[in-house]
Amino acid sequence: MAGLLTGAVAAIVSTDPFDADVFADAPSLRVVARVGVGVDSIDLAAATAAGVVVTTTPGANEVPVADHTLALMLSVLRRIAEHDAGVRRGEWNRTGPSVPMELTGATVGLVGFGTIGRLVAERLRGFGVRLLVSDPLVDPGAGPDLEVVALPELLARADIVSLHAPLTDATHHLIGARELASMARHAILVNTSRGPLVDEEALRAALASGHLRGVGLDVFEHEPPDPTLFGGDPRVVLSPHIGGLSERSIDEMTQRATASVLDVLAGRPPLSVANPAVLDRLIPTPVSAR
């Protein structure tokens, strides 16, 4: 990263690592424009100390994340990846342990009920599910067709647990060994939020013990993950942190990130700043980007 940033005043980035050393080696840098909303890979304190504005693009990828969440749920429940692999091997497994499950009528627990959680709920309503929500910021009367409960109750009752919480110190390993053990043995876990919400070692142990019917993960504690993380377990469906990406969302996020760069270099406060404390250090005179 330091080599790429030599002489650069701006960077349009994905999940590239920006730690204190990178900022120290890039004295010309004025703005890091994140194509996406997560800033887990960026040391915001170091960016602020270096006078670098960090921007994000909220609202551009929420719909594809919600769509991908449903895709993972259905892939696990209907055993799509497992059956695809079987047919390609010349198998025709339609009975016994190969029989899929249904989403219709299931009890689905949404952990986190921000914009994406609500979009997922909208999509699930068409399947006639029972909706449970756990979110300390949501009013118990949030909706007539959903029930707001504490996390332990949600985990105990849900057939499907879907994570939509932000990553903070309080939510790191929100789902650990104790929480997994409290879920029903037939339950499935889906995570399209942030990888460190789940203790992956505890999840591996739960699957090895026969607990949980399946898992759908788009995010991981370390990305990309060790390809042997879950071995060949057919109960696990994985995707490469692609939930928020679509042709439309990439185009919109790239345009927004570019606009943020142009704003900062022109001395204008950009939208969606992740470290607003740095804004008073913006140089009002425009500079040319290279």
Would you please indicate which residues are annotated as catalytic (active-site) residues? 194, 223, 241
Contact 205, 177 (CB under 8 A): yes
Q: 37 to each of 30, 55, 167, how far by Cα in Å?
A: 19, 9, 12
Give the type of residue at 16. Answer: D
Q: Which residues of 120-129 are buried (b: 16+ CB within 10 A; e: fewer)?
A: bbeebeeeeb
- The DSSP secondary-structure symbol of 220 reads -
Q: Give residue for tokens 């019917």.
A: 213
Phi, psi of 212 (to 5 degrees): 80, 135
